[in-house]
């Protein structure tokens, strides 16, 4: 933790206004934490963090536009700060994405403000905190059955790219892209690219 005279400067980003305001108010009751920004979406969080340079960013995973992990991915290149992700739906696969993005804390939204404050202190001091249940689930979570190239195709397709656009982006023939898409649908036992993308995002593969 920081020394007694210096508060931990925290940015909170959550698109649910009531939850964001309540958590900010409760954290401000902690003597060593100063909530310096409350943001309603990922883009706002990136802008505020680059401007204010908080010690810790407390990020909701599920936000419109950029989610919490994507915010961390953006900011780790421009700001020296620590990241804590909170989520209502703690899907194990997302933990891998979060760790790859340099996130130091990961916990469910069901934790009370005192527990969140303790994690903020631990992370601000250079430590890590991963919720034990999420960590256990992640260890037993199934591995991705897709190849790296199939993941590239799915990632581009999930952003709305057409088969022709994917082919150009990856320097592949359109027929090859269609073959990759067919393989993806077969491996994941789904009928559409959209269903495949949803499954892959939920499991932290893309």
Q: How far is CA 138 from CA 8, 90, 133, 141, 200, in A?
A: 30, 10, 9, 5, 15
- Structural domains of the chain in order of their starting residue, each with its CATH number: 8-139 (3.40.50.2300), 148-202 (1.10.10.10)
Q: What is the pLDDT along the chain (206 residues), one digit of tens a residue?
A: 444 458 999 999 999 999 999 999 999 999 999 999 999 999 999 999 999 999 999 999 989 889 999 999 999 999 999 999 998 766 667 787 888 889 999 998 888 999 999 999 999 999 999 988 777 766 656 678 889 899 999 989 888 889 999 999 999 999 999 999 999 999 999 999 999 998 888 777 87
Q: What are phi and psi of 43, to 5 degrees?
A: -60, -40
pLDDT at 2: 45
Query: Which tokens sit at 117?
Result: 């404050």
pTM exceeds 0.75, yes or no: no
pLDDT at 5: 56
């Amino acid at each position: 933790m920081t020394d007694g005279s210096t508060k931990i400067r925290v940015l909170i980003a959550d698109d649910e206004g009531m939850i964001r305001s309540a958590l900010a108010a409760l954290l401000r009751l902690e003597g060593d934490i100063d909530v310096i920004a409350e943001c309603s979406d990922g883009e706002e969080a990136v802008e505020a963090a680059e401007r204010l340079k908080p010690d810790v960013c407390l990020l909701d995973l599920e936000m419109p536009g950029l989610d919490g992990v994507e915010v961390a991915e953006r900011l780790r290149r421009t700001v020296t700060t620590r990241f804590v992700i909170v989520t209502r739906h703690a899907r194990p696969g997302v933990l891998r994405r979060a760790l790859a993005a340099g996130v130091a804390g990961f916990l469910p939204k069901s934790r009370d403000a005192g527990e969140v404050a303790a994690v903020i202190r631990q992370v601000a001091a250079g430590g890590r905190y991963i919720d034990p249940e999420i960590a256990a689930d992640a260890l037993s979570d199934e591995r991705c059955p897709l190849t790296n190239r199939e993941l590239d195709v799915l990632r581009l397709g999930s952003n709305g790219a057409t088969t022709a656009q994917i082919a150009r982006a990856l320097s592949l023939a359109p027929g090859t892209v269609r073959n990759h898409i067919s393989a993806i649908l077969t491996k994941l036992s789904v009928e559409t690219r959209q269903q495949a993308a949803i499954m892959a995002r939920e499991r932290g593969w893309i």
